[in-house]
């Protein structure tokens, strides 16, 4: 009986996954390759004071870690600098009371932030990198 249940469960999952398709087609113009440089006008420089820039627009931040102490965040950031090519910044996030380790510059486009995040996630040590949306 267990074998039949497992077989049906696997069959259902395979059918479900096979039926999932994207409803959005991309054109050659829509494609941005991970190895392309993101134009400066699409980025926002991070503040050197460890604070978010004071801008009146929404932007996106690729975050790779969050720590309870500045020392742990600094240690992780130093290790990260040897593993990835992006610049790294440590910021204290008052809402979550954590020191966050983030990639700089920040991005005006979520799509561009996703491309950077996805490239970083190729390294297993950063497979939990995520995007923070900063709404101003």
In this model, does residue 97 exceed pLDDT 70?
yes
Q: Can you give the CATH number for the domain in which 111 is found?
A: 3.30.70.1070
CA distance 5 to 99: 47
What average pLDDT does the chain have? 76
CA distance 72 to 68: 7
Percent of the chain surpassing pLDDT 90:
48
pLDDT one-digit tens code per residue, 2-21 = 555 444 444 444 554 444 44
In this model, does residue 50 exceed pLDDT 90?
no
Would 25 be classed as within a structural domain? Answer: no
Would 119 be classed as within a structural domain? Answer: yes
Would 9 be classed as within a structural domain? Answer: no
Percent of the chain surpassing pLDDT 70:
59
- 34-45 average pLDDT score: 56
């Amino acid at each position: 009986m267990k074998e039949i249940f497992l077989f049906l469960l696997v069959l259902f999952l395979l059918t479900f996954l096979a039926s999932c398709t994207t409803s959005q087609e991309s054109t050659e113009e829509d494609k941005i390759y991970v190895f392309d440089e993101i134009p400066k006008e699409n980025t926002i420089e991070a503040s050197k004071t460890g604070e978010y820039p004071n801008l009146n627009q929404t932007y996106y931040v690729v975050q790779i870690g969050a720590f309870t102490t500045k020392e742990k965040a600094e240690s992780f950031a130093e290790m990260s600098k040897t593993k990835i090519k992006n610049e790294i910044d440590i910021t204290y996030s008052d809402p979550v009371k954590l020191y966050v380790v983030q990639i700089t510059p920040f991005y005006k486009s979520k799509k561009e932030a996703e491309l950077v995040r996805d490239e970083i996630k190729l390294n297993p040590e950063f497979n939990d990198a995520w995007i923070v949306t900063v709404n101003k």
